[in-house]
């Protein structure tokens, strides 16, 4: 389990695009493809591509399913803990105001978000 720096933004920007970055990592596709597909779905749903309902629907359409984090320690269970508990698979973790891709026990982000507390996750 480890943090892996990941920023697929073609211009290397850190522009509040954590949804695009995380989804692109899970889907093994480029930033542009992810951005366009989420924008198109957002247009169809009449919502922003970064809204939970839009990217959630996108993941659902691609075989991911939503799960709740067990409420055994709601303020101390971190992304690092999740990675230890789920060493195999592709996941998108939702925290308060952020999303992070987890693939086979490693979390991919532009900064080390391992101590953030996930609220729920999408898995495949």
What torsion do the CA atoms of 30, 34, 37, 40 make, to the nearest 10 degrees? -130
SS (H, E, C) the chain: CCEEECCCCCCCCCCCCHHHHHHHHHHCCCHHHHHHHHHHHHHHHCCCCCCHHHHHHHHHHCCCEEEECCCCCCCCCCHHHHHHHCCCCEEEEEECCEEEEEECCEEEECCCCCCCCCCEEEEC
* Tally of structural domains, the chain: 1
Domain region containing 115: 3-123
The answer on pLDDT for 107 being more than 90 is yes
Q: 62-85: per-residue pLDDT in tens?
A: 999 999 998 888 788 999 999 999
pLDDT at 74: 76
Q: How far is CA 65 from the centre of its chain?
A: 13
**Residue at token pair 């925290």:** 95
**Mean model confidence pLDDT for the chain:** 95
């Amino acid at each position: 389990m480890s943090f892996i720096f990941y920023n697929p933004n073609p211009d290397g920007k850190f522009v509040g695009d954590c949804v695009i970055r995380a989804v692109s990592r899970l889907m093994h596709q480029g930033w542009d493809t992810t951005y366009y597909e989420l924008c198109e779905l957002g247009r169809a749903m009449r919502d922003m591509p970064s809204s939970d309902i839009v990217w959630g629907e996108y993941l659902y359409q691609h075989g991911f399913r939503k799960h709740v984090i067990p409420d055994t320690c709601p303020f101390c269970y971190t992304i690092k803990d999740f990675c230890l508990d789920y060493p195999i698979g592709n996941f998108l973790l939702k925290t308060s105001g952020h999303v992070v891709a987890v693939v086979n026990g490693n979390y991919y982000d532009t900064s080390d978000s391992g101590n953030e507390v996930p609220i729920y996750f999408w898995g495949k």
